[in-house]
């Protein structure tokens, strides 16, 4: 099954030459014999091979609205997701960095946000005064299955999160200025990329949205974007169809409505949770190969993967310091402002520095590059890193990231990794004991990860609309 999935991914991506080349290189590397990283360590104490129970496959009740949101809301959200009208300079959409042709990401280590041109690895950094000022500091996370209710925190650092299971109590950077009427934490997340200068708003002086973003005026941004949407007659009709209270004149169109629609679309369109592994969990012993079964046993036993990647969506939704190499412009943390403290930047606690949310591993073969900043473009290499983070951090291959080549941006990318003290602090925050696997076991573990791919996710091009109400282009 693993080889079949690899072949199907390559066949689909062959329509997108650059993506196919990158994924082909990743698959080629998976055929190599893995080095025994950490072999000089004494084996850590680990639980027996049955130490973690297998999860139950996902079901409709795991999702908001039992996985069946309003079709009118989904359609509105689809058009908003692909419409550049939501960006300050009207040159980038949500889909630019979360594209169906790129596993719901962009196939780059760090996104080329506002000011860039084209899609995926063909995207450039723009030109002249309109060029990007810096890369987006973190990797575009995949959005598979985010409509599941257990995803209570969003973004790599969890800065948008539902803090209470009993009631909607959503904590965000907007604080008390978060608009009312949001359906869930996924809808709240949709409100924030438009407020980022590097992602969608643009630079101060370029447009009114960018000026508001420079002042961190969230309410002003959302109000201005709502006005844009109201000015398009087709959007007014779509909002009325999706929200009865707007149609009855009891509510005005707000950006909270837009967030709710985008969340409904994402929850519906990017739900891919029926992999060969799920068929195995439902009782089909032949759904996965013997090597994939061996990898599964390692995953839920000796390799200790399930200590964090647990449950039906293979994440504990917690934050862990895994010694991931730090690349890119950073988040303004540390003495030089080029570090990324992750969860520590949200909580302000030193003990949370360099911790990032455990990613879901569903469809993981489609979602590279991997890591909160895309530090690894080879799935096997990121697995080896997780087994022994300190060892691999010390010998990190700087050819792994997929980044644009521009001298000023290149200069930013390696500031932290060139700072011995910063790297030492990064390593010191990691408390993971090394796990020793031999070459065959590592290959089997990677094989199991491929079995987590829902084959329907290999072709998501049907999701893309032919046009959007603003009339702005969709296919670039």
Is the alpha carbon torsion for 404, 408, 411, 415 positive or negative? Answer: negative
Give the pLDDT confidence score for residue 51 in this predicted structure.
79
Measured distance CA(140)–CA(160) in Å, rounded = 16
Give the pLDDT confidence score for residue 476 in this predicted structure.
84
Give the pLDDT confidence score for residue 22 in this predicted structure.
44
DSSP H or E stretch at residue 154 = strand 153-154
What is the full per-residue pLDDT of the chain (476 aa) written as tens digits? 667 677 766 655 554 444 444 444 444 333 323 333 332 233 333 344 557 899 999 999 999 999 999 999 999 999 999 999 999 999 999 999 999 999 999 999 999 999 999 999 999 999 988 899 999 999 999 999 999 999 999 999 999 999 876 556 899 999 999 999 999 999 999 999 999 999 999 999 999 999 999 999 999 999 999 999 999 999 999 999 999 999 999 999 999 999 999 999 999 999 999 999 999 999 999 999 999 999 999 999 999 999 999 999 999 999 999 999 999 999 999 999 999 999 999 999 999 999 999 999 999 999 999 999 999 999 999 999 999 999 999 999 999 999 999 999 999 999 999 999 999 999 999 999 999 999 999 999 999 999 999 999 999 999 999 999 999 999 88
- Report the chain's C-alpha Rg in angstroms: 22
Give the pLDDT confidence score for residue 177 in this predicted structure.
96
| Residue carrying structure tokens 């696997």 | 437
Is the alpha carbon torsion for 426, 432, 437, 442 positive or negative? Answer: negative
CA end-to-end span of the chain, whole Å? 34
Q: At what angle do helices 290-299 and 439-450 cross, to 10 degrees?
A: 100
pTM of the model: 0.91
Q: Where are the alpha helices (DSSP H) in 364-438?
A: 379-387, 389-394, 407-413, 420-428
Q: What secondary structure does DSSP assign to 90-118, as a single string?
A: S---HHHHSBGGGTTB-SSSS---TT-BS
Measured distance CA(264)–CA(254) in Å, rounded = 16
């Amino acid at each position: 099954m693993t080889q079949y999935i690899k072949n199907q991914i390559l066949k689909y991506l062959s329509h997108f030459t650059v993506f196919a080349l990158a994924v082909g290189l990743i698959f080629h590397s998976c055929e190599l014999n893995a080095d025994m990283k950490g072999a000089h360590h004494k084996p850590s104490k680990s639980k027996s091979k049955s130490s973690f129970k297998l999860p139950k496959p996902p079901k409709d009740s795991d999702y908001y609205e039992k996985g069946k949101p309003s079709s009118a809301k989904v359609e509105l959200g689809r058009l908003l997701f692909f419409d550049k009208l939501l960006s300050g300079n009207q040159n980038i959409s949500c889909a630019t960095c979360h594209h169906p042709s790129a596993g719901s990401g962009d196939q780059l280590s760090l996104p080329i946000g506002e000011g860039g041109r084209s899609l995926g690895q063909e995207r450039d950094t723009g030109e002249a005064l309109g060029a990007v000022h810096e890369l987006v500091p973190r990797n575009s996370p995949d959005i598979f299955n985010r409509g599941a209710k257990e995803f209570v925190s969003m973004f790599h650092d969890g800065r948008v999160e539902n803090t209470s299971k009993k009631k909607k109590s959503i904590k965000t950077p907007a604080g008390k200025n978060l608009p009312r009427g949001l359906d869930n934490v996924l809808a709240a997340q949709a409100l924030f990329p438009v407020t980022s200068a590097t992602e969608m708003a643009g630079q101060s002086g370029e447009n009114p949205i960018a000026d508001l973003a420079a002042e961190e005026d969230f309410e002003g941004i959302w109000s201005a974007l709502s006005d844009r949407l109201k000015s398009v007659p087709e959007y007014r009709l779509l909002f009325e169809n999706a929200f009865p209270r707007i149609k009855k004149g009891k509510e005005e169109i707000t950006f909270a409505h837009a967030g709710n629609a985008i969340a409904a679309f994402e929850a519906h369109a990017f739900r891919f949770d029926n992999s060969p592994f799920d068929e195995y969990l439902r009782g089909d012993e032949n759904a996965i190969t013997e090597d994939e079964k061996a990898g599964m046993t390692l995953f839920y036993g000796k390799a200790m993967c399930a200590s964090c990647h647990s449950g039906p969506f293979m994440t504990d939704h917690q934050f862990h310091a895994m010694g991931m190499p730090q690349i890119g412009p950073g988040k303004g943390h540390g003495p030089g402002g080029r570090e990324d403290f992750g969860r520590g930047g949200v909580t302000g606690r030193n003990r949370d520095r360099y911790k990032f949310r455990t990613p879901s591993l569903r469809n993981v073969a489609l979602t590279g590059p991997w890591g909160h900043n895309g530090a690894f473009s080879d799935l096997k290499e990121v697995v080896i890193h997780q087994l022994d983070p300190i060892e691999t951090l010390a010998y990190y291959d700087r050819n792994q990231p997929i980044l644009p080549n521009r001298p000023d941006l290149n200069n930013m990318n390696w500031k932290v990794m060139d700072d011995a003290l910063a790297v030492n602090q990064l390593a010191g925050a990691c408390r993971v004991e090394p796990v020793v696997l031999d070459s065959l076991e590592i290959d089997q573990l990677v094989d199991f990860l491929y079995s987590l791919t829902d084959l329907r996710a290999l072709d998501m091009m049907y999701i893309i609309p032919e046009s959007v109400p603003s009339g702005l282009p969709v296919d670039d």
